[in-house]
Each structure stands twice: as structure tokens, then as C-alpha cells.
Amino acid sequence: ITDLAFPCQDNRCLTQVLHHIDREDAVRPGRLADIPITEIPMAPPRAPEPVAVAPASAVAPAAAADDGKPEGERERLVWAMERCGWVQAKAARLLKITPRQMGYALQKHGIEVRKF
């Protein structure tokens, strides 16, 4: 093992090189004026496409658009838990909430978790 293997003994550590700017061999940050900045032109805004309006009789009920999820919060919790085999983390992902929020909601509504 030679002296080159121990650079910190000769004041050649990377930390010293980076943080002591007053030394000759220190790494200096480049000036922003020296760095070329190229601007990328933005695409022109697109015109909005016309939206076709369906007659009121053809509009589907809100429950069908919600993938069959029940309306009330308690019913949605039970539905998600049953669908996910009573695994709270999976049910939380299904409802797009955190597992902690799921646990609090189950406690709030008095829903007992079934264990198999």
C-alpha cells in the first residue's frame, strides 16, 4: 500500500477539494453566463374540440359511472373490504386512500374486520 491510497493524509480528500475554494486545484462552480441556455419553443395552443351533447334520456345514472360502488361511506367501505378479501391495504388502494385512513374509517363506522 502506497501513500496514494491515503489521500486525506496529504490534504487531497474529495471533501477538502470540493469545499476549499481558495486552493488552486479546488473545483469551482461554473458561472451561469458561461453556460449556454437554449430556449425550446412551445407548441401553439390547440383549439378545443367540440363536445357532442347527448339527450337527457340517454344519460346514464351516476351509479353506473361509479363502477357499482355504493353511495354511503359505510357501504363503500364494506364493499371495498369484501371485494379485497378483507385486506385493508388492498381496499384502501381500491378507494384511493391510505391504509391508515382506511383503518380510521373502519373504526369510525364500527366495521369489524373479518379474519380468516
Residue 49 covered by a domain: no
**Grid cell digits, residue 30:** 461554473
The string of pLDDT tens digits covering residues 31-47 is 555 656 677 777 777 77
Between CA 69 and CA 32 the distance in angstroms is 55
**Grid cell digits, residue 69:** 360502488
Residue 94 covered by a domain: yes
99 CB contacts (<8 Å, ≥6 apart)? 88, 89, 92
- The better pLDDT of the pair 23, 65 is held by 23
- The better pLDDT of the pair 58, 51 is held by 51
Residue 58 covered by a domain: no
Residue 64's pLDDT is 46
Between CA 24 and CA 13 the distance in angstroms is 14
Kindly report whether the global pTM for this prediction surpasses the value 0.85: no
Residue 19 covered by a domain: yes
Residue 53 covered by a domain: no
* Distances from the Cα of 3 to the Cα of 14, 18, 25, 70, angstroms: 16, 21, 19, 73
Q: How many domains does the chain have?
A: 2
Domain of residue 9 covers 3-29
Residue 62 covered by a domain: no
Residue 98 covered by a domain: yes
Residue 78 covered by a domain: yes
